[in-house]
Amino acid sequence: MKIVHIITRLIIGGAQENTLLSCEGQHQLGHDVTLITGPALGPEGSLLGRAQVGEYRVVVVDEMRRAIRPIGDFQTYQCLVTLLRDLRPDIVHTHSSKGGILGRWAARRAGVAAVVHTIHGLAFTASINPMLNQVYKALEGRAAPLTTRIVCVADAMREQSLAAGIGRPQQYVTIYSGMETEPFLNAPTVRDEVRATLGLTDQHIVVGTIARLFDLKGHDDLLLIAPKLCEANLNLRFLWVGDGLLRRRFESRMEKMGLRDRFILAGMVSPQRVPELTGAMDILVHPSRREGLARALPQAALAGIPVIAYDVDGNKEGLLDGVSGILLPPFDVEKLSAAISKLGRDPALRSKMGEAGRQFALGRFDARIMVEALDRLYHQILPTARRS
């Protein structure tokens, strides 16, 4: 098959890693794969270099940006139409909000037979601005009829989309986001060595978080409960992996609380370092306020680390509550504090949950499982799409 993937930008992030693994896996299966993306702009880091050393085709559309830019967006749409008419793909598979909306309309204009869109996270739940949310709902609602199938990385995405009146139930299919499992099962650097470079010993209890230092990621909740937790456990340390616009604000709060030495800010790291930093943790906490299905949850599970997360969006599908981790009522900081305390003082429970999580994640989130599921989906829809 000739397959074209379209995504807004290749920053370091879950949707982007999912897309790259799809392109790489489909190329290995013998398909003709093209990836169309905008520039990898932003403080999150770039995955464009990884894409460009692959053996599939990569096209950068300079006009494509995440922000709403009417003139630039129309130029992007025209460019996509031209590219798709030249490439003549069997399948166009879009990702992210901007790439998904413009890409689906362009595929329709170019006469592409089958169009697939993956919902990695719902844009209309990301903003506290009701008007902007309504705009995103309207745009997604108008793009849904152009879509042969809508892939969700969690059942929660389907439920929320249908509740918003987007698409029809038969359009939706859940395919969990795949990842490279081996680096998390067997981290390239020994755990003790990684901890030593971070100034950590065996006595320290490391509560890790992997997320951008940005709004809605839950770092404020952790800062709120940190004084009480640190007072109760002198060996408690927080390890934050990721960077972002709010770093200075968070550091200022740590200083004012007298807890700067309790936080290790690893900053933006390459994807290759994430497995070893995850393996250096004792607990992974993901207090984000919106997600598709946070990749940090299965990644921690693969590393044998128990996880704590709010029950938002697809998080309940990324762990086994009470078995591989603890699922909390959304934004309940008291229960978040209690869960960290519980796992922090019980190494046997952490070990038991970590092992259960590893088995669970291997069966659901391996990249090969995702690529094979997408391949079956494409073969299922393409004959019918070509006849219609």
What is the chain's pLDDT, residue by residue, as a tens digit (388 residues)?
Answer: 999 999 999 998 889 999 999 999 999 999 999 999 999 887 778 999 999 999 999 999 999 998 888 999 999 999 999 999 999 999 999 999 899 999 999 999 999 999 999 999 887 765 567 888 888 899 999 999 999 999 999 999 999 999 999 999 999 999 999 999 999 999 888 999 999 999 999 999 999 999 989 888 999 999 999 999 999 999 999 999 999 899 999 999 999 999 999 999 999 898 889 999 999 999 999 999 887 788 999 999 999 999 999 999 889 999 999 999 999 999 999 999 999 999 999 999 999 999 999 999 999 999 999 999 999 999 999 988 887 7
Check the CA dihedral 150-156-157-160 and report its sign: positive
**48, 192: one domain:** no
Residue 85: per-residue pLDDT: 98
Quick one: tokens of 271?
């994807």
**153, 266: one domain:** no
**336, 381: one domain:** no
**49, 187: one domain:** no
**10, 141: one domain:** yes
**194, 52: one domain:** no
Residue 375: per-residue pLDDT: 98
Q: Which long-range contacts (C-beta less than 8 Å, at least 24 apart) are formed by 184-189?
A: 184/275, 184/278, 184/279, 184/299, 184/302, 184/303, 185/302, 185/303, 185/358, 185/362, 187/275, 187/276, 187/278, 187/279, 187/303, 188/272, 188/275, 188/276, 189/276
**81, 206: one domain:** no
Residue 124: per-residue pLDDT: 76
Residue 67: per-residue pLDDT: 85
DSSP tag of 176 = P
CATH of the domain at 241: 3.40.50.2000
Alpha-carbon span 84 to 344, nearest angstrom = 53
Domains of the chain: total: 2
With beta carbons less than 8 A apart as the criterion, state whether 188 and 195 touch: no
pTM for this structure? 0.87
With beta carbons less than 8 A apart as the criterion, state whether 190 and 197 touch: no
Q: In which domain, by residue range, is 58 found?
A: 2-178+366-387
Helix axes 14-28, 367-387, angle to 10 degrees: 70
With beta carbons less than 8 A apart as the criterion, state whether 115 and 146 touch: yes
**31, 159: one domain:** yes
**171, 245: one domain:** no
Residue 126: per-residue pLDDT: 57
**333, 359: one domain:** yes
Instruction: Give the helix/strand (H/E) hosting 35.
Output: strand 32-38
**264, 342: one domain:** yes
**167, 245: one domain:** no
